[in-house]
Structure 1
Amino acid sequence: MIRTVLTGATGRMGATLSRLVREAPDLELAGATARGKAEQLAALGVPAGDDLGRVLDAARAQVVIDFTSAEASVVHARQCAERGVALVIGSTGFTPEARAEVARSAASIPVVLAPNTSVGVNVVIRMAAELARVLGDGYDVEVLEAHHRMKKDAPSGTALKLAEVLASALGRGQEDLTFARHGQIGARPSKEIGVQTLRGGDVVGEHTVFFYGEGERIELTHRATSRDQFGLGALRAARWVTGRTPGLYDMADVLGFPRAT
C-alpha cells in the first residue's frame, strides 16, 4: 500500500481524488490538507490540517498528490523535498520562476509536473506533435480550449503544452504563438500558432487542435466529461513516481513515451 497524502482534499478535484484513492486496492489515504471547520477535517478520517508539513510528519507519507495552485504547489514541493516525499503536481498557471522553484525541489525528490494528468489527453498531445511533423509548414495550426467559468488561468496549461509541443515539432518558438486577435490584424503569418480560450458553464475541459490546409481540415479533439480521468491519471503517476530517483518528470515519462530528441 502506497501511503498517499492529498492537498486541497475538500475541493472539487480533491474530493474526486479522495474517493479514487480510497477505492484503489494499492493506495492508502494517509493524510490530507484542507481548509475547513474541525468537524470537516475530522470527517476525512486521517491526519488533516492546513499545513502540509505537519500532515506529512504525522502521515509517514510516500507520495503527495497536489491539485491546488501554482503558488501553493511551489511551497508544497519545498515541504516534500525537506522530507523526502515524492510529489505529483496537477496544478496549472506556473510562471517560469515558479517552475524553476519546483525544479529545484526536484533535485532532492522525484516530481511529476503535469498540466493535465488525463491519460487520453496526453496521448492526444503526442499525436498532435506527430501530425505536425508529418504535415509540416503547409498547414495553419490553431489550438482551441474550453473550460468552466470558475477556471482562473487562461489559456489552460494543457493548451499551452499543446502549443509548446506543436511549436517544437514545427521548429518554431514562443514568438510564433498568438493568444488573442482583435481589430485590423492583417494577414495570418505563415508560422503563427493561435491559442484561443473559451470559458463558460460547467465544462470540465475540451481541447482541439486544428490543422487547416488547402481544401481540407484536420481536427484532433479531446473532451473530458468527468474529473475522474484526471484523478485516475494522477493515481497512475503516483504509483509510477514512488521510489523513483530525484528529478522533474511529466506524464510522457509516466506513460513511457520516448523523450523528444
Structure 2
Amino acid sequence: MTETAKLLIHGASGRMGQALLRLCAEGGNCTVVGAVSRKVGQRVIDGVPQFASNELAGVPAFDAAVDFSLAEAFDPILALCAERGAALVSGTTGLSEAQRAAIAEASARIPVLWAANFSLGVAVLSELVERAAAALPGWDCDIVEAHHAGKKDAPSGTALALGEAAGQGGALARYASLRAGDIVGEHLIQFAGIGERIELVHRATNRDIFARGALHAAGRLSGRAPGVYRLRDLL
C-alpha cells in the first residue's frame, strides 16, 4: 500500500473495523481519513474523524473504502464509492442477490472487491484448489471446515468460496463443518482418487490476518481500472 492512499473505514465500531484502525495506527502505511459507524460519540478518536452512517455525504475525499458493516448499510457505501469514483473493498456478509447485482453494475464505473475471506493464504489456497481440481478430473473433493463454537452459519462462506474454486476446475465439492472451542478458522480440501489423496490445508491462528489482507487489497485496488476483482488478483 502506498502512503498516499486515503482510506475510509466503514463499519468502524465492529471487530474488523477496530482491527483495521489499530493496524493503521501501528504503522501499516495507512492514511485513514474517516471512520463510519452507526452512531458517533466522540467526533475525533486518535486523530481520525468519526462519522455516523447517516452522514456519509460529508466524509472527506478518499481513494478506497474498506467496508465491514451490515447488509442493510451496504447500499449507501457502494453508491458513495460509485458517485466519487473510489474503490470499494468489502467483506460484509449476507448480501442479497439484488446487492450482488448492484456490485456488478457499479464495477462498470469503479474497481470493486468483495470477498468472504481476506486471508492472503486463503487467496493462494483458492488458486491451488482450482488447479488441483482441473488436474484431477473424476477425483472426489471434500472440504472440511472448523470454526469457534459461536459461529452459526455452516458451511462457512470461505468453504463455499473454496467449493466454487473447485467447481471452476470441474470438481463437485462436498462439505463437513465443525464448531468447537475458540478455533479462528481451519479449512481442509481433500482430493481423493484410487489409492492416493491430496490434502490442502489453511489454518488461521489470529484474526488480524483478515484485516491485513483487506488493507493490502485496498492499497492495491486504489487507482485500478473499473471491474470486479478477486483477492488473488491483487497478490
Which TM class, normalised by the smaller chain length?
0.7 to 0.9
Which residue of structure 1 lines up, in the alignment, with residue 29 of structure 2? 26
1:88-237 alignment runs, 5 A limit? 88-137=89-138, 139-170=139-170, 192-237=172-217
Aligned counterparts of 1:152 and 1:7: Cα–Cα separation in 2: 24
C-alpha contact 2:51 2:59 (8 A) present in aligned 1: no
SS of the aligned residue for 2:199 comes to strand
Counterparts of 1:86 and 1:56, CA distance in 2: 16
Deviates most, 5-14 or 63-72: 63-72
Say if 1:159 and 1:207, in contact at 8 Å, map to a contact too: yes
Pick from 6, 11, 28: which aligns with 2:9?
6
Residues 147, 182 of structure 2: 8 Å contact kept: yes
Task: Evaluate the alpha carbon distance shift between residue 33 and residue 205 of structure 1 in structure 2; reply closer, same or farther with a 3 A threshold.
Answer: same
CA–CA separation in structure 1 for the residues paired with 2:102 and 2:185: 27
- Cα deviation digits, residues 183-216 of structure 1 (max 9, x gap): xxxxxxxxx5212233343322211101122333
Q: How many positions carry a matched residue from both structures?
A: 232
The gaps in structure 1 that reach 5 residues or longer are 173-191, 256-261
| Change beyond 3 A, Cα 1:50–1:83 | same
What aligned pairs does 1:8-87 form with structure 2 within 5 A after superposition?
8-24=11-27, 26-36=29-39, 38-39=41-42, 42-51=44-53, 54-55=55-56, 57-87=58-88
How far has the Cα of 1:50 moved from its partner?
2.7
Q: Quick check: 100-109 or 89-98, which moved more?
A: 89-98
Q: Distance in 2 between matches of 1:58 and 1:71?
A: 19
The answer on whether the counterparts of 1:9 and 1:33 sit within 8 Å (CA) in structure 2 is yes
- Decide whether aligned partners of structure 1 residues 244 and 3 sit closer, same or farther in structure 2, where only a CA change above 3 A counts: same
Which one has the largest radius of gyration? Answer: 1
- Secondary structure of the residue aligned to 2:59 is helix
Unaligned 5+ segments in structure 2 are none
Q: 1:218-251: CA deviations, max 9, x gaps?
A: 2111011112211111111111111112211111
Question: Do the aligned residues in 2 keep the contact of 1:48 with 1:55 (CA within 8 Å)?
Answer: no
Deviates more, 1:150-159 or 1:128-137: 150-159
Conserved? CA contact 2:40–2:52, under 8 Å:
no
Moved over 4 A (4+): none
Q: CA deviation at 1:71?
A: 4.0
Checking the alignment, whether the CA contact within 8 Å between 1:32 and 1:55 is kept in structure 2 is no
RMSD, aligned CA: 2.2
Distance in 1, Cα, partners of 2:197 & 2:225: 43
Distance 1:148 1:36, change over 3 A: farther
Shift of 1:21: 1.8
The answer as to whether partners of 1:148 and 1:205 remain within 8 angstroms in 2 is: yes
Question: What is aligned with 1:179?
Answer: none
User: Conserved in 1, the CA contact under 8 Å of 2:86 and 2:110?
Assistant: yes
Aligned residue identity for 2:129: A
**Given the superposition, is the C-alpha separation of residues 155 and 56 from structure 1 closer, same or farther in structure 2, using an over 3 Å criterion?**
farther
- Within 1, Cα distance between the matches of 2:81 and 2:115? 17
Tell me: CA distance 1:70–1:200, structure 2 relative to 1, closer, same or farther (3 Å).
farther
CA distance in 1, matches of 2:161, 2:219: 23
For residues 34-80 of structure 1, the C-alpha deviation after alignment (integer angstroms, 9 at most, x for no partner) is 245514x643532223317x346332211111122344334321222
Q: Structure 1's 234 and 164: CA in aligned 2 closer, same or farther, altered over 3 A?
A: same
Query: After alignment, is 8-17 or 149-158 more displaced?
Result: 149-158
